Chain A
Amino acid sequence: MITLHYAIQELAFRRSRSLITIASVAVAVLAAVLLTALATSYGRAVHAPVETVGADMVVQITGDIPPKLEGLVFPHPNALIPANAVENIRGMDGVLSVTRAVYLWELAPDHYQSVLGIEDGEAGLQSLSERLIEGRPLKTGDSAVLIDSDFAAKRSLKVGTMLDVGGTEFPVVGIVDAARGGKVVRADVYMPIAPAQRLATAAPQVRALYPFGPDDANLLLVKVDRQSLEGVVQKVNALLGKKGIVSSELSFREALSGVLFLSQRMGLIVAAVIALFAAAFVLRATASAVTERRRELAVLQAIGWPWQRIRQEVLIENGVLALAGVLLGVVVAVLLTFVLGSVSVTIDLPWDLSSTPHFIPEATLDRTQTITVPIAIPWLAAAAAGIGGLVVALAVAAMLVASPPQQPWSLLRSE
């Protein structure tokens, strides 16, 4: 404790050098922590579009254009997915669950509406319940619908009114804020899968193209163990062939490649360069401190301090400086992330995932999605940066005072 007292006196006495060393370590830690935080946030933005529907993967098959664009039709990227393909996907290693869905457009002379019939489950009806703003959630056996709030406003629909879908009247039991779930696989009308399957089976423009049965689907929402995602995507692509459309966070990596490159690769490079400069500053500050104090260290030797205690003293001083620098760097990083709050990234969604018919002006939606991800301090990276800063500062000091000067008297003598 006495040596700590001496160390603090010494650091306070040489204030400028102490502040430069603290600032050098702080800048390196700040850069490493902040850039890692940004890279992590952008990384999270990549899987946000698919994640918002409660799945890790959306599976579709490219279909054909129906003979007539009227009544209930399958959108172009939503052909029949064969039942054996569904079972095959369900059995793949890493696949946690498969939620089947039927996606339909209804093209009437005076209106257009998109319809999604979906199974129960985390990525299905349960995910809709989380976006419910009025009414009640759907249950598997219901012959009722939920409608999107924008659609409800446009068509002046309320909970309790009846809605015609494909010639069948369905009671509206609730209104959902579909936008809250992003724009992936978004529809105007949601219902359990069974009535949607019945509607599709009976639709002439569907039957003209596919042998769609009452237990079939044209869209799959798949939950996958994240570590197995890349392998599962490859297997599903191989299973479905050229016409398969498999959308996951991997699809958005390309869309965000510029941002990701900047945030991850460049971020690491910039952090490494800053860390190198900081290490050079620390080296220079420590080296000049030891050189300035060669005589002082010789005095300590002369009054009987063992060299290991002198070395310990220098290490304590540098440890205190490095610790102060690390704490300052982390505190400033926390403050900056608090001030910045979040990062926003706008992504162009592929048409497959937001398949609104471009030939109907009133149905054309903005197919860009702005994803806002809060910036959070990656504490593991912060700890690594902090420990790294401490290790560099202590290693530099240890290197400089590794062994005692051979002739301390030459620094102390009068002649």
Chain B
Amino acid sequence: MNNETGIQVDGVTKRYGALEVLRGVDLSVPAGKFAAVIGKSGSGKSTLIGVVSGLEKPDSGRVLVQGHDLSHLDQRQMAELRRLSIGIVFQNFSLIPSLSALDNVLLPTFFDERTSVRERRARATELLDQVGLHDRMQHRPSELSGGEQQRVAIARALVNGPSILLADEPTGNLDTETGTAVLELLFAMGRARATTLLVVTHDLDIAAKADMIIEMKDGRIQHANT
């Protein structure tokens, strides 16, 4: 594997009962590039993100993230890799409802022993400021709009400075205008940090902005255009 490769997927298969969702997927996303995964519902896009995040175990094949073969990592190492190197943005925001926006962003930093609490707090505050929520930091998710919640989720995904950012239909629960604004933000912040970006989307306009477009059909990669 090339050291410059952010994500590499080799011959990955995944089956849910009788349904084969991924059928020998091979994929390589260079570090710092933006790849958009498109395809119809049920084509295996979300499962691919799950496998790359290590939250879904493939039945066969291997996944390398920043050179780490995920099948060789134990539970603790996997958690550390996700915490430090992988940021994930979900379709339904997945914020913790009992916590404020600031506390949600701070969640992945709880076990960061490299920096002080004050530094982590400053980092989270700065990120919330960058996503335009400097005056909404103490609000709970229920007090924020969908777009604002997704901005909090983006700040949370970036708070530990990951080299990989995964987004599973990040605009799926947002109206077009808000969705476009959120994606612009995601791209801008990803690019500014030279983050490898793998985004699942239905929206071809969004996909058009990517460095790579990966089209999936029936669990296979149909086309991978650079």
Contact between B42 and A3 (Cβ–Cβ < 8 Å)?
Answer: no
B56 lies within 8 A of A6 (CB):
no
Some 26 contacts from A to B, beta carbons below 8 A apart, are A2-B117, A6-B103, A6-B110, A295-B94, A296-B97, A298-B55, A299-B96, A302-B82, A302-B94, A303-B108, A304-B80, A304-B108, A305-B83, A306-B76, A306-B80, A306-B111, A404-B75, A407-B55, A409-B53, A409-B56, A410-B56, A412-B90, A412-B168, A413-B50, A414-B172, A415-B41
Bound-complex Cα distance A6 to B110 (A): 10
**Which A residues from 17 to 74 make CB contacts under 8 A with B?**
none
Q: Measuring CB to CB, which residues of chain A are less than 8 angstroms from any residue of chain B?
A: 2-3, 5-6, 9-10, 12-14, 295-296, 298-307, 309, 404, 406-410, 412-415
| Contact A306/B53 with A6-B99, A12-B98, A414-B172 known, Cβ cut-off 8 Å | no
Knowing A3-B110, A9-B98 are in contact, say whether A307-B75 is a contact too (CB < 8 A): yes
Closest 6 CB pairs of A and B: A304-B83, A13-B98, A409-B50, A414-B91, A414-B169, A409-B55
Which residues of chain B are within 8 angstroms of A410 by Cβ–Cβ distance? Answer: 56
A414/B83 contact (C-beta < 8 A), A6-B99, A12-B98, A409-B50 known:
no
Structural contact, A414 and B80, CB atoms closer than 8 A? no
**Hey, which chain B residues are within 8 Å of A296, CB to CB?**
96-97
A413–B83 CB distance below 8 A:
no
Contact, CB under 8 Å: A302 / B88: yes
Q: Interface residues of B, CB < 8 Å — how many? A: 43
Interface contact A303-B88, CB-CB below 8 Å: yes
Instruction: Return chain B residues, CB-CB under 8 Å to A409.
Output: 47, 50, 53, 55-56
For the complex, what is the distance from the CA of A306 to the CA of B84, rounded to whole Å? 12
B27 at the A interface (CB under 8 A) = no
Contacts of B86 in A (CB 8 A): 304
- Give Cα A75 to B83, complex, Å: 91
CB distance from A330 to the nearest CB of B (A): 28
B156 at the interface (CB under 8 A from A): yes
What is the minimal beta-carbon distance from A265 to any residue of chain B, in angstroms? 45
Interchain CB contact under 8 A, B42 and A415: yes
**A414 is contacted by which of B75, B84, B96, B200 (Cβ under 8 Å)?**
B200
The answer to whether B42 touches A306, judged by C-beta atoms less than 8 angstroms apart, is no
Judged by a CB distance under 8 angstroms, whether B144 is at the interface is no
Which chain B positions have C-beta within 8 A of A3?
A: 110
Find chain B residues with CB under 8 A from A415 CB.
41-42, 45-47, 169
Please give 13 more A-B residue pairs, beta carbons under 8 A apart, in addition to A404-B75, A415-B41: A2-B110, A298-B55, A301-B82, A304-B79, A304-B80, A306-B79, A406-B57, A409-B56, A412-B94, A413-B46, A414-B92, A414-B172, A415-B169
Q: Which residues of chain A come closer than 8 Å to B92, judged between CB atoms?
A: 414
**A240 to B97 CA separation, bound complex (whole angstroms):** 79
- B194 at the A interface (CB under 8 A): no
Q: B107 at the A/B interface (Cβ < 8 Å)?
A: yes
In the bound complex, residues from chain B placing their C-beta under 8 Å from that of A306 are 75-76, 79-80, 111
Residue of B nearest to A406 (CB): B57
Contacting residues of chain B (84-127) with chain A, CB-CB under 8 angstroms: 84, 86, 88, 90-92, 94-99, 103, 106-108, 110-111, 117
Chain B contacts of A404 at CB under 8 A?
A: 75
Asked whether B79 lies within 8 Å of A301 as measured between CB atoms, the reply is: yes
